[in-house]
Amino acid sequence: MPAVELSRLKKQADELAGCLQQPVEFKRRLTDHLEFYADRVTRPGNMVRPAPLIPRYGVPPLFLQAVEQALQKPVEEDPLSGLKLAEELWKDSYLEPKLVAASLIGLAARKEPQAAAKLLVQYCLPQENPLVQEALLQRSGMQLRLSNLQVWFDLVERWVNSEFLAQQLIGFRALQGVIEDRDFENLPVIYRLLTNPVELTSRTTMHELEPLINSLARRSPIETVYFLRQCYNRTGNPILGRLIRKCLPAFPVESQVSLRKVIQDQIDR
């Protein structure tokens, strides 16, 4: 892998950004640069985890960062061209073009949230590689949420209420990232999105919901106790009762006492 020269990197990124409205040419040039910076040496002993099942160039993060930074202003001025470019890059089988595509969707979401959400739904599929899913949820989904909370809400609601577990899991992953974002304070939105899945907790979804409830308990134990009490009292779902018991250690002691009483009162009825 060649050494990275910052001035050269910026020049290459700016030239790429100039091809925003020429998706095929952009992709050709991007591929050339990815080939140039590719890490062709495999060092299994240095790998922390097995390589994901998606081909990758292994370019320095600085290169992708430079490209994404150079694209910010052009996409802000012409978001629809940014989305068309994202569609072209998404056809590539390698990881890095898909990462750039995910960033383009996020940049375009600032002015074209509906169009960006459409691509996010189209690309963030259960069978997609986990690294690509994560890139879409972080690079695309986060910007969509910041730009238009209602569009993001509708999208995640569609996922978490899907009849298919694999799609529900995508919605849960999206919510996990938001709950852990301390700058996001609109927790009532999260409780609304989770109401149906929590009330319908099954043996299949219980383990997937547990980290979400634990994170909510750490962020806002009082609100989370109220939320769980309402859900449990409405349904009396015994598997939800098991989920609540599993999550008790994440709550302060006084909240644990309150939740145990909720479960016991339901049993005594």
- Hey, where are the domains in the chain? 1-147, 168-269
Report CA-CA distances (Å) from 156 to 168, 172, 208, 210: 9, 8, 15, 18
Residue (of 69, 66, 82, 4) closest to 37 by Cα position: 4
CA distance 264 to 269: 9
Residue 52's pLDDT is 57
Residue 267's pLDDT is 66
CA distance 110 to 28: 27
Residue 106's pLDDT is 98
Residue 148's pLDDT is 95
Q: What does each of the 269 residues of the chain score in pLDDT, given as a tens digit? A: 455 678 889 999 999 999 999 999 999 999 999 999 897 654 334 444 554 589 999 999 999 999 999 999 999 999 999 999 999 999 999 999 999 999 999 999 999 999 999 999 999 999 999 999 999 999 999 999 999 999 999 999 999 999 999 999 999 999 999 999 999 999 999 999 999 999 999 999 999 999 999 999 999 999 999 999 999 999 999 999 999 999 999 999 999 999 999 888 776 65
CA distance 203 to 199: 12
pTM: 0.88
